Structures are given as C-alpha cells and as structure tokens.
C-alpha cells in the first residue's frame, strides 16, 4: 500500500503568509525511507501581528553596491575564507531536524534562524562559541507574528527577533510543539532531584540571559540579488515547494518539465555553484530534516529559473552585535597556538 500524504502549508505570495493545509496518511502504511509526518486536516492559521509590507532597511543593500562581475562562479559558506590568504573554514552553524521529537511544521523557524545564526558566525569570524537560538522560545511566543507547528513565515521570524529578541537554545530546548508564552516558557532552569521525585523548575529572569536581536531585515528575490545578498552578508531564508524533495538523494535537483510548484516549505540558501559535468548552475541549500536526509541534510537545486519557486520569496536579516558575542570568548584560553605549529604537519 502506498502512503498518500501531501504536505502542509500553502503560501499566499502576495500576503507573504504561509497557511497550513494537508491530507491524512493511510493508517498502517509502511514508513517511507525518509519518514516525515505531514500536517493533518485543513488547518489554516493567520499571523495577525505580522507587518507583511514592512522591511526594516538601514544600510545599503548588496545589490546596490556589488557589481555582477564581483560574484564568483561558485561560493559556499561551508567552505570559504574571509580574507585573502586565510585558511578555509565553515561559517555555517549546526544542522537541525524540525521533525523530532515529534512532527512540527516549523520549517519557517528553522530556515530563518539557521540563516541568522550563520550570519552571527560570519560576523564573529567563526569565534567560539556558535550562537544557537531557542526555536522553542520562538514557537511559544511568536505565534501571532511568525508561526506555529502548523506553518509560519520567515519575515515574521525576523520581525519578532527585531522587536522582542530571542534567547539562546540553552534557555529552552526544542520540543517540536506549541506551548504557552510566559517567562517560564522562554528561559528556565531546574534543580535536583530528577523526576518523578523532583519538579523543581523556575523561570530565569530576563536580566540573567542574553536576548539576541536583529538590526534590520527584509526581502530579496531573483538570482542575482540573492547571490549578492548571500555573498556580502551571509545565508538567506527562502520559500520553496518541497514536494519534489521527498525523493531527493543527492546531486542537482531539476524539477520535471511542466511541474507546477506551490510554496509549502522554508529552507536556507548558503551558496551556489555550477555542475562540473553538465554545467547546470545550482544553489547550495540547507534543509531541516536531519543529516540522514539528502547530502548530509543539504541539497542542490537548479539555479537561475526559479526552480520550485526558490528565487521568489527570500528573506535576510542583519544580526545586532551584542557584547555577549564576546562574553563566551573571554573564558576561552588565550593560548592562541595554531594546532599545526604544535603538532608539526597535520593535514586532513
């Protein structure tokens, strides 16, 4: 018996809202190779707090100052150097899985916050530690602005983080469910003994943890503008039709001719390239379905003709520098000795 499932979220592109819709799974059907539950029933959520027509732009946009010829033919934030002559390194943050410990349609939070965390890493030039955002705190408190486990919107994520800030992941780990918004569901701590004897948990006051903000945010669309935004400032979040990703394994995804895409997912785009064998230009994209999916959690898709609508609705944000960015580093050793110097030749 073949499992008939269709996915979540339709987008009203004009309103920039992602709405949730879906079909039921056959009970008793065997799991697919990359199991992902889908949303149930015709569930529609709006985002009354979203300022859908507002971008907050304070500085010049990359497409206003970067000329086409400055763009390299390939570029990948997973493997690049920030300065001429500097060693190559990864400036992307950890891969995520929105579907554990249970199914949650929170692609919008994962795609937008992964791109933002990468941008902090780039701004901090890869210094320890990576900043990880609390997706659960956003799920709990961003429901009217950004979304829920039933779909959401990347612009709303950046609006929320701009207006209210977001704590780090150690305040509130991902539980893949919609909870209430209060101090306890934003940042908490607990004391022994462990359950079932102990239930001693409390809200950590706001002055005890850092909230991270963005200074500006907005939309970008079209191949060239996306490339310039990514190249100048870091990864971006984009809407996409994820149905053809169900069967993706590796290589450059090229949608079938005549395929009619509809937006139902959000991912982050972190670079581009050109296929060495057949010359197909592609995007380098991070998904949030775990590293056992695709190319270690990532995929490539044809670039330049709006494949699966990936070049239509993308979003960027510029993180606001905070002294807490260096707060962690002050505890790192100041030894600063390069490993190669200590061990002689170390090559991987």
Ligand X SMILES: *[C@@H]1O[C@H](CO)[C@@H](O)[C@H](O)[C@H]1NC(C)=O
- Residues making contact with ligand X (CB under 6 A): 94, 129-132, 168, 170, 189, 204-205, 208, 210-211, 320, 322-324
By C-beta, is 67 or 323 nearer to ligand X?
A: 323
Residue 80 CB, nearest approach to ligand X (Å): 19
By C-beta, is 181 or 204 nearer to ligand X?
A: 204
99, 110, 150, 265: which is the annotated catalytic residue? 265
Pairing of strands 17-19, 75-76: unpaired
Closest CA to 50 of 217, 263, 269: 217
String of DSSP letters for 75-90: EETTSB-SSTTPPPB-
97, 99, 107, 212: which is the annotated catalytic residue? 107
Angstrom distance (rounded) from CA 75 to CA 180: 41
Beta bridge partner(s), residue 317: 217
287 is an active site residue: yes
By C-beta, is 131 or 236 nearer to ligand X?
A: 131
Residue 315 CB, nearest approach to ligand X (Å): 22
Residue 193 DSSP one-character state: S
Closest CA to 96 of 269, 296, 342: 296
Angstrom distance (rounded) from CA 304 to CA 314: 14
For residue 182, how many other CB atoms are within 10 A of its CB? 10
Residue 182 CB, nearest approach to ligand X (Å): 15
107 is an active site residue: yes
265 is an active site residue: yes
Residue 133 CB, nearest approach to ligand X (Å): 9
Angstrom distance (rounded) from CA 181 to CA 238: 27
Angstrom distance (rounded) from CA 169 to CA 157: 16
Residue 68 CB, nearest approach to ligand X (Å): 35
Q: Catalytic residue positions?
A: 107, 265, 287
């Amino acid at each position: 018996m073949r499992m008939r499932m269709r996915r979540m979220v339709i987008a009203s592109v004009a309103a920039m809202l992602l709405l949730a819709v879906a079909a039921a799974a056959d009970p008793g059907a065997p799991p697919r190779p990359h199991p992902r539950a889908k949303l149930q029933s015709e569930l529609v959520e709006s985002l009354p707090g979203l300022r859908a027509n507002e971008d907050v732009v304070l500085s010049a946009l990359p497409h206003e100052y970067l000329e086409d010829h400055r763009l390299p033919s390939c570029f990948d934030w997973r493997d690049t150097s920030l300065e001429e002559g500097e060693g190559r390194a990864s400036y992307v943050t950890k891969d995520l899985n929105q579907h554990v410990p249970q199914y949650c349609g929170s692609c919008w939070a994962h795609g937008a916050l992964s791109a933002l965390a990468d941008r902090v890493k780039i701004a901090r030039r890869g210094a320890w530690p990576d900043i990880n955002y609390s997706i659960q705190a956003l799920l709990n408190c961003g429901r009217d602005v950004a979304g829920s486990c039933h779909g959401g919107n990347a612009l709303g994520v950046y609006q929320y983080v701009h207006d209210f800030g977001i704590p780090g992941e150690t305040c509130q780990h991902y539980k893949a469910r919609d909870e209430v918004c209060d101090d306890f569901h934003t940042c908490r701590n607990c004391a022994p003994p462990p359950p079932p004897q102990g239930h001693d948990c409390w809200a950590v006051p706001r002055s005890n943890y850092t909230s991270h903000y963005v200074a500006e945010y907005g939309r970008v669309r079209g191949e060239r503008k996306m490339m310039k935004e990514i190249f100048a400032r870091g990864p971006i979040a984009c809407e996409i039709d994820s149905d053809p990703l169900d069967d993706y394994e590796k290589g450059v995804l090229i949608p079938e001719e005549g395929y009619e895409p509809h937006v139902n997912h959000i991912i982050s785009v972190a670079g581009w390239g050109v296929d060495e064998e057949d010359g197909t230009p592609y995007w380098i994209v991070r998904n949030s379905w775990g590293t056992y999916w695709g190319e270690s959690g990532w995929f490539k898709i044809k670039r330049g003709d709006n494949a699966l609508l990936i070049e239509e609705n993308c979003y960027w944000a510029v993180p606001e520098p905070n002294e807490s960015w260096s707060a962690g580093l002050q505890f790192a050793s100041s030894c600063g000795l390069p490993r190669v110097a200590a061990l002689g030749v170390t090559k991987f």
